[in-house]
Amino acid sequence: MATKPGKITVVGSGFYGSTTALRLAQYDVVGTVVLTDVVEGKPEGLALDLNQSRSIEGFETEVVGVGGGSYEGTEGSDVVVITAGLPRKPGMSRMDLIETNAGIVRQVSENVARTSPDAVVIVVSNPLDEMTALAQLATGFPTHRVMGQAGMLDTARFTDNVARELGVPTASVQTLTLGSHGDTMVPVPSRCTVDGRPLSEVMAPDRIAHLVDRTRNGGAEVVALLKTGSAYYAPSAAAARMAKAVIEDSGAVMPVCAWVDGEHGISGVYLGVEAEIGREGVRRVVETDLTDDELAGLREAAEAVRAKQADVADL
């Protein structure tokens, strides 16, 4: 029996989806987390297992599993996290998944619009920027209620890379990445600090460049090591934090894939930017101070994803 108001649905009960559901349940900020999948029995079994951990971990959120592709029980969700789709395999780029995942994301989005017409949608399916644009088209929701998870993850990877390189706690490092979730990712060294000092003061330019490159290829690095499947611990943490910010109407400023309409001199595209997140999704895009090179990189990323996002309308 749900003890709090609020419902979050996670579509897809693979490693990413089930871990996202676990994190959201442990936050204990809503009464119900619904985990759905086309596979019969899997989300139900995971939900049973998760619920049996409640007394140990001290949370009351009820997890409900819905298999067989049904959306019964998801109705009226406040937030829907779309994780459905195929993961990458070694040697694959995110773009290699576009046609297959477009069909999945379109079908999911149409069901979400039917069952939870007032929800905020967080897309995590790859290729991220394109699937976020497709989800908005397929739901017909206002652009501020559809966003993608990418910048939170890429920023976390950049932070970890810097902390490990310098041998310092991750809490002492602040980083930022913008742009696309892929080749045109734009790490923002000018906004990076270590114990409040600019990154450029504590690390040589060639090492910064190396870590920027490693961050850009962070997903592929994990995929290559795993051999099967892709990252899910860090990605699920990022998606869950975004959903929590919506539920709590926190106004937290996070790097996310959001609709940009004039900010940074860019219009009409979903792009990784900093945004203030609240109950209605993206309250506003925050125009981060950027160097000329970083701004040029962001605008280049916008044009690269714009063409691909136009293509998904027909997928």
On whether 125 is known to bind a ligand per the annotation, the reply is yes
Query: Does the active-site annotation cover 264?
Result: no
User: Per the annotation, does 157 bind a ligand?
Assistant: yes
Q: Is 12 annotated as a binding residue?
A: yes
Catalytic residue among 144, 181, 210, 264: 181
> Is 232 part of any known ligand binding site?
no
Q: Is 124 annotated as a binding residue?
A: yes
297 assigned binding-site residue: no
Concatenated DSSP letters for the chain? Answer: ---SS-EEEEE--SHHHHHHHHHHHHHT-SSEEEEE-SSSSHHHHHHHHHHTTHHHHT--PEEEEE-TT--TT-TT-SEEEE--SPPP-TT--GGGGHHHHHHHHHHHHHHHHHH-TT-EEEE-PSSHHHHHHHHHHHH---GGGEEE--HHHHHHHHHHHHHHHHT--GGGEE--EEE-SSTTEEE-GGG-EETTEEHHHHS-HHHHHHHHHHHHTHHHHHHHHHSSS---HHHHHHHHHHHHHHHTT--EEEEEEEEEESGGG-EEEEEEEEEEEETTEEEEEE-----HHHHHHHHHHHHHHHHHHHHHTT-
Is 59 known as a binding-site position? no
* 58 annotated among ligand-binding-site residues: no
- Ligand-binding site membership of 141 (annotated): no
The binding site for substrate consists of 88, 94, 126, 157
Q: List, as residue ranges, the binding site.
A: 12-17, 37, 88, 94, 101, 124-126, 157
Binding residues for NAD(+): 12-17, 37, 101, 124-126
Would you please indicate which residues are annotated as catalytic (active-site) residues?
A: 181
